[in-house]
Chain A
Amino acid sequence: MLEVRGISRSYGEHVIVQDVSFHVEPGRMLALLGPNGCGKSTTLKVLSGAIQASAGTYTVDGHEGGTDHARRATGYVPDTRGVFPRLTGGEHLELAARLHHADDWRQRADDLIEQLALDEVVDLPAGAYSHGQSRRLSMAMALVARPPLLLVDEPFDGVDLEGVDTITDLLIEARAEGAALVLTTHLLDAAVIADEVAVFRHHELSGPHPTGQLLQEHGTLQAAWKHLAHA
Chain B
Amino acid sequence: MTNAAAPVLAGRGPLRPHLSDARLGMRHQFRNSWRMSRAFAIGAIVMTALMHALAMLTAALHARIGTTDVTVEMVLPLAAGLWSALALLPALGGGESDDPMALAAAGAGRSFRFGARFASSLSDAGPGLFVPALALVGAAVAGWPGWLAGLALAWNGLAVGQLSGAASAILVARVGPTIALVSVAALVLLSATVLATTGVGPGAWWLAATAQPGYALVLVVTGLLALVGAWALNRPAEQVVRSGRTVRIPKTEFAAVLVTMFMGVSRSVMARSTIVTAVITPLLVRSAGAVVTASIAFFVTAAAAAVLGANGFAYDGGASVWLLGKASRLHMVLARMMTTTVWALLLAVVAAVSAALVGAAPPLRLLPQLVLVAIAAAAAGIVPSVTRPVATDFNSFRAQPAPVASAIGTLTRSVVLTTVVLAVSLPVATAVVIGYTLLAVGHARWRMRDPVGLAALA
Write the residues of chain A forming the contact surface with B, with a CB cutoff of 8 angstroms: 11, 45, 48-52, 68, 71-72, 74, 76, 78, 80-88, 90-91, 94-96, 98-100, 123-128, 138, 141
Q: Is the CB of B249 within 8 A of A82?
A: no
- How far apart are the CA atoms of A35 and B209 in the complex, in Å? 65
Chain B residues in 8 Å Cβ range of A76: 322, 325-326
Q: Would you give the shortest CB distance from A10 to chain B, in whole angstroms?
A: 11
Given the known A-B contacts A81-B394, A98-B249, A98-B253, are A86 and B241 also in contact in the complex, defined by CB atoms under 8 Å? no
B243 at the interface (CB under 8 A from A): yes
- Is B324 a contact of A49 with CB atoms below 8 Å? yes
Instruction: With CB as the reference atom, state the residue of chain B lying closest to A99.
Output: B326
Inter-chain contact A88/B244, CB cutoff 8 Å: yes
CB neighbours (8 Å) of A85 from chain B are 264, 317, 394-395
Chain B contact surface mostly:
loop
B268 within 8 A of A: yes
Cα distance A74–B324 when bound, in Å? 12
The reply to whether B241 and A84 form a contact with Cβ atoms under 8 Å apart is: no
What is the distance, in angstroms, from A102's C-beta to the closest C-beta of chain B? 10
Pair A51/B317 contact, Cβ less than 8 Å: no
List of A residues within 8 angstroms of B243 by Cβ: 88, 123-124
Q: Are A127 and B249 in contact (CB under 8 A)?
A: no
**Cβ-neighbour of A95 out of B249, B324, B450 (below 8 A):** B249
Contacts of A124 in B (CB 8 A): 241-244
Asked if residues A91 and B318 are in contact (CB atoms below 8 Å), the reply is no
* Complex contact A94–B248 (CB within 8 A): yes
A74, B260: Cβ atoms closer than 8 Å: no
Instruction: Tell which of A68, A80, A87, A90 touches B263, judged by Cβ atoms closer than 8 Å.
Output: A87
B residues 206-248 touching A (CB-CB < 8 Å): 239, 241-244, 246-248
Which residue in A49, A91, A127 is a CB contact (below 8 Å) of B325? A49
Name the contact of A86 in the complex, choosing from B251, B315, B326, B452 (C-beta under 8 A).
Answer: B315
- Please measure, in the bound complex, the distance between the C-alpha atom of A85 and the C-alpha atom of B268, giving whole angstroms: 10
Could you tell me if A125 and B241 are in contact, using CB atoms closer than 8 angstroms?
A: yes
Indicate if the CB atoms of B246 and A84 lie closer than 8 Å: no
Task: For the complex formed, measure the closest distance between the CB of B132 and the CB atoms of chain A, giving whole angstroms.
Answer: 35
Picked from A48, A68, A95, A125, the residue with its CB within 8 Å of the CB of B256 is A95
Secondary structure of the A contact surface, majority rule: mixed
Q: Which residues of B contact A51 (CB under 8 A)?
A: 324, 449-451
Chain B residues near A99: list those with CB within 8 A: 253, 256-257, 326-327
- Does B246 contact A71, Cβ atoms closer than 8 Å? no
Tell me the bound Cα distance from A87 to B267 in angstroms. 9
| Contacts A/B (CB < 8 Å), 28 sampled | A49-B326, A51-B449, A72-B326, A76-B322, A78-B318, A78-B321, A78-B322, A81-B319, A82-B318, A82-B321, A82-B322, A83-B317, A85-B264, A86-B244, A86-B263, A86-B264, A88-B244, A91-B247, A91-B263, A95-B249, A98-B253, A100-B326, A124-B241, A124-B244, A125-B244, A128-B239, A128-B241, A141-B322
Contacts of A86 in B (CB 8 A): 244, 263-264, 267-268, 315, 317
Per the 8 Å Cβ criterion, residues 303-361 of B in contact with A are: 315-319, 321-322, 324-328
Determine if A45 and B321 form an interchain contact, defined as CB atoms under 8 angstroms apart. yes
* Total residues of chain B contacting the partner, CB 8 A: 39
Closest to A125 in B: B244
Task: Tell me, yes or no, whether B17 is within 8 Å of chain A by CB.
Answer: no
Closest to A142 in B: B322
B260 near A71 with CB under 8 A, answer no
- Select from chain B the residue with minimum beta-carbon distance to A92: B319
Cα distance A11–B395 in the bound complex, in angstroms = 28
Within 8 A of A (CB), among B241-287: 241-244, 246-253, 256-257, 260, 263-264, 267-268
* Shortest beta-carbon distance from B247 to chain A in Å: 6
- Chain B residues with Cβ under 8 A from A123's Cβ? 243-244, 246
List residues of chain A with CB within 8 A of the CB of B328: 68
State how many angstroms separate the Cβ of A121 from the closest Cβ of chain B: 9
Q: Is B397 close to A, CB under 8 A?
A: yes
Cα distance, A86 to B261, chains bound together (Å) = 10
In contact, A91 and B450 (Cβ under 8 angstroms): no
Question: What is the minimal beta-carbon distance from A217 to any residue of chain B, in angstroms?
Answer: 36
Q: Give min CB distance, B242 to chain A, whole Å.
A: 8
Given contacts A91-B263, A98-B249, A124-B244, 18 further A-B contacts (CB under 8 A): A11-B452, A49-B325, A50-B321, A51-B449, A51-B451, A78-B321, A81-B394, A83-B317, A85-B264, A90-B246, A94-B248, A95-B249, A100-B326, A124-B241, A127-B317, A127-B394, A127-B395, A127-B397
Most central of A68, A71, A74, A86 by chain B CB within 10 Å? A86
Which residues does chain A contribute within 8 Å of B319, judged by CB atoms?
A: 81-84
Which 10 pairs, one residue from A and one from B, show the smallest C-beta to C-beta distance? A48-B325, A85-B317, A86-B267, A50-B324, A99-B326, A128-B241, A94-B249, A80-B318, A50-B325, A123-B243
Chain B neighbourhood of A80, CB < 8 A: 318, 321
Closest Cβ of chain B to A82, distance in Å, is: 4
Checking A98, A100, A125, A127 against B250 with a beta-carbon cut-off of 8 angstroms, the contacting residue is A98
Q: With both chains docked as a complex, state the minimum distance between the C-beta of B250 and any C-beta of chain A, in angstroms.
A: 7
Residues of B within 8 A of A48 (CB): 325
When chains A and B are docked, how far (Å) is the Cα of A111 from the Cα of B239? 29
In whole angstroms, how far apart are the Cα atoms of A48 and B250 in the complex?
Answer: 23
Q: In the docked arrangement, what's the CA distance between A50 and B256, Å?
A: 18
